[in-house]
Structure 1
C-alpha cells in the first residue's frame, strides 16, 4: 500500500520493512493480483439496472437525459519501457506511455477501465479496440428509453471530447459555438464531461505510483497495478458515496447484493451483432441527438435565467 500510495522505489523500503527489493516487488504484484481476483468482479463492472436508473435520473437533472457517464483517455508514462517498444509507445506526449480508457460518473466512480494500448494511439484508435460497447452490441445491457426534445431514443450515451467520432452513443460539444444557444450547450457539456477528468485527477492523487513514471519492465505488471488502483479507488468512492451524491440516496446503489443483469434481448447471430454496431455508429442519429440536446438545454437553461447565463 505504501508503494501504491507514495510511488517510491522498492529499495527505499529496505530499512523500514527489512525486505529485499525483489521481495518488495514480488509482494506488490501478489497484492495487486489478489485485489483484482477477489474484488474485480464487483468493482470493475458496468452499472446494474438499479444503479443505472439512479445515474440516468441524476444526469437528467443535470440537463442530459439518457447520459450514462463521460469517457476519455489518460496516458501513464513508462520510464523503463523496453527500447524495442519505445517507438510504438511514444505519441504526442514525447515519451513512452500506456493509455487508460475510462468511463466515470459525477461521483467519480469508474465504471469501465481499459488499459494497455501503447501511447502512439489516439482516443479513436483506443475506442475501436475497447470493449466499452460490446455488452450493448450483444444485448447484455438494461434497456434504456428516454425522450429529448420530443424525440424518442433507445440507447444511452457518453459525453466525449472533440476527437471522438460522431456515434449515436457519444455526444460531443460544439467546437466553435456561434450562437448563444450553442454556447450554453457547450458550457453544459464541457462541465459535465469533466467528471472523467476529475476521476483521473483523484486517481492519480490517491496513488502516486500511477502519477509518477512507471519503473517496472513488464506491461502485464503495469496493467495489474492500474486495475488494482482503480478497484481501490472505487472502494473509496462507494464508501463515501453519500458525500458525492447528495441529495440522492446512497442506498440506491446496492452493490454486491444486487441481482445480476437480466434482459430479454439476445444477439446470437453475427449479422445482428454487426447491425447493432451500425446503429451505434449512426452519424445521423448522433447529429439529431446533439441538436435535440442543444434545444433541450436551451429550454431549461436559457441565457437569461439558467446557470450558464453570461457565458
Structure 2
C-alpha cells in the first residue's frame, strides 16, 4: 500500500469515524473544525503527532479527529485516561500523551492571539465599556483562583498546601465584563497569598516599561493617565488597583462600594464559566508534572477566549443608564487610548526606556496617593 492509497483510505474513513463516535453529540467536532479547518489542518502541520501513520502491524493508527476528540473529552468532561479505552479503544498512555500533545499544539498555534495583552483597539473597547458602567479608566478586574493538585509529590505538599491543608496551584487572572481573560499567571504554590502572587506576576511589566498603550481619561474633571483594575481588599493600595470601602459612611461611598463590588465579580464569573466549560479545571488535577498542568490550564483559557470571541456579539449591554451621546451633557468621562508613549526617552543600546523613567513609572504605579486621589474622584463621579 503506497502513500496515495493510504491518504485515500484516511479521507474515506474520516467521516465514518466521526459518525460512529460520540463526538457528533458532544459538540467537540465544532472545536475540531475551528482548530483544523475542513481542508487545511494546522494541527497536523504543526505537530506530526496528529498525522495518521502506519504501525508495526501495517495498520492505520488513530486519526487526528479521534485524537482531538479524546483530548476535548478529557478537558471538557474530565474523563480519566483509562476510561477512554471503553469508547475509543485507546490505551491509557496514548490518551495521556494525546492530551499533552494537544495542549502543546493549541498553545503553539493560538497563544499569541488569545492570551495577548490588550492592544490599542482592545483598550479602546474596554475603556468605552468602562465608561458606560460608570468606572472610566477601568480595564478589568483582578483576582486569584486555587486549583487543587491531587497527585502533588510528597516533597512539595508542604509548600503547595494553604489554609485548606490541601495542595493547590494558584491562577492569577484579569477578566473583562465579557469574561475574556486578558492575563493569566499560573504555577505559584498554594501556600502563597494574593499579594505575593502579584509580586511575582508580570501583570504590570509592560506598564512600567512603557510598552502598553497610553490612556487618558477624566474623572471628576481631573485628568488621569494610567488605567486601573478593580480588586478586593487584600491587594495593596496602588495607583493601578482600586478597592472598595470597608465602612462606607456617605451615600456616595455606599453607592461606590456597591458598584465596585458588583463589577469586581467579572473575574469570579470568568472562573465559574471556565470551570463549567472544562470540568478538568473544576476537579482536582490528576497530573504529576507541574508543566503539564500549566499547559492544561492555559489551553482551557485559550479555548474559553475562543468561545467568548465567537459569542461576544450576542451579549446584551443593559448596564448603562446614560443614553445621551452628547459629551457636553453626558455624565460619561471620555477616555482615549494611544500607542506607545512617544515622549519617553529610549535607550539606543537597549531600545528601552531609561532607568529614571522606569523608576518614575514604577513609583507612580505603586503610589498610595494616586490610589487615594483616584478613588476620591470615582466616588464623586459615581
Same fold (TM over 0.5): yes
Could you list the per-position Cα deviations for residues 68-94 of structure 1 after superposition, in whole angstroms to 9, with x for gaps in the alignment? Answer: 110100000001001111010011232
Could you list the per-position Cα deviations for residues 198-223 of structure 1 after superposition, in whole angstroms to 9, with x for gaps in the alignment? Answer: 00000000000000000101100000
Query: Which of 1 and 2 has greater Rg?
Result: 2
Report what 1:151 is aligned to.
222
Q: Which moved more, 1:190-199 or 1:266-275?
A: 266-275
User: Does residue 3 in structure 1 map to residue 74 in structure 2?
Assistant: yes
Query: What does 1:148-187 correspond to in 2, within 5 Å?
Result: 148-187=219-258
Query: What does 1:220-239 correspond to in 2, within 5 Å?
Result: 220-239=291-310
Could you list the per-position Cα deviations for residues 255-308 of structure 1 after superposition, in whole angstroms to 9, with x for gaps in the alignment? Answer: xxxxxx6553454333432221111000001011011101110xxxxxxxxxxx
Conserved 8 A contact 2:210-2:353: no
Conserved 8 A contact 2:210-2:340: no
Conserved 8 A contact 2:146-2:169: yes
User: Does residue 17 in structure 1 map to residue 88 in structure 2?
Assistant: yes
1:245, distance to aligned residue in structure 2 (A): 5.5
Distance of 1:190 and 1:270 partners within structure 2: 37
1:178, distance to aligned residue in structure 2 (A): 2.3
Conserved 8 A contact 1:102-1:113: yes
User: The residue matched to 1:111 in structure 2 has which SS?
Assistant: strand
Report what 1:286 is aligned to.
371
Distance of 1:228 and 1:171 partners within structure 2: 30
Report what 2:101 is aligned to.
30
Query: Which of 157, 161, 183 is residue 112 of structure 1 equivalent to?
Result: 183
For structure 2, list consecutive stretches of 5 or more residues without a partner in the other structure: 1-71, 320-338, 347-351
Distance of 1:247 and 1:132 partners within structure 2: 30
Conserved 8 A contact 2:148-2:283: yes
Distance of 1:145 and 1:268 partners within structure 2: 20
Report what 1:127 is aligned to.
198
1:238, distance to aligned residue in structure 2 (A): 0.1
Query: Which of 264, 272, 278 is residue 357 of structure 2 equivalent to?
Result: 272
User: The residue matched to 2:288 in structure 1 has which SS?
Assistant: coil
User: The residue matched to 1:132 in structure 2 has which SS?
Assistant: coil
User: The residue matched to 1:145 in structure 2 has which SS?
Assistant: strand
For structure 1, list consecutive stretches of 5 or more residues without a partner in the other structure: 249-260, 298-311
Distance of 1:15 and 1:263 partners within structure 2: 58
User: The residue matched to 1:115 in structure 2 has which SS?
Assistant: strand
Q: Which moved more, 1:261-270 or 1:135-144?
A: 261-270
Query: Which of 89, 92, 112 is residue 41 of structure 1 equivalent to?
Result: 112
Distance of 1:247 and 1:294 partners within structure 2: 22
Q: State the structure with bigger RCO (CA 8 A, min sep 6), 1 or 2.
A: 1
Report what 2:20 is aligned to.
none
Query: Which of 268, 274, 292 is residue 197 of structure 1 equivalent to?
Result: 268
User: The residue matched to 2:258 in structure 1 has which SS?
Assistant: helix
Distance of 2:284 and 2:185 partners within structure 1: 19
Distance of 1:218 and 1:183 partners within structure 2: 47
Distance of 1:117 and 1:176 partners within structure 2: 32
Distance of 1:244 and 1:135 partners within structure 2: 30
Conserved 8 A contact 1:214-1:222: yes
1:20, distance to aligned residue in structure 2 (A): 1.1
TM-score, L = length of structure 1: 0.89
Conserved 8 A contact 1:107-1:245: no
TM-score, L = length of structure 2: 0.73
1:182, distance to aligned residue in structure 2 (A): 1.3
User: The residue matched to 2:196 in structure 1 has which SS?
Assistant: helix
Report the CA distance shift for 1:219/1:205 in structure 2 as closer, same or farther (over 3 A): same
1:151, distance to aligned residue in structure 2 (A): 1.4
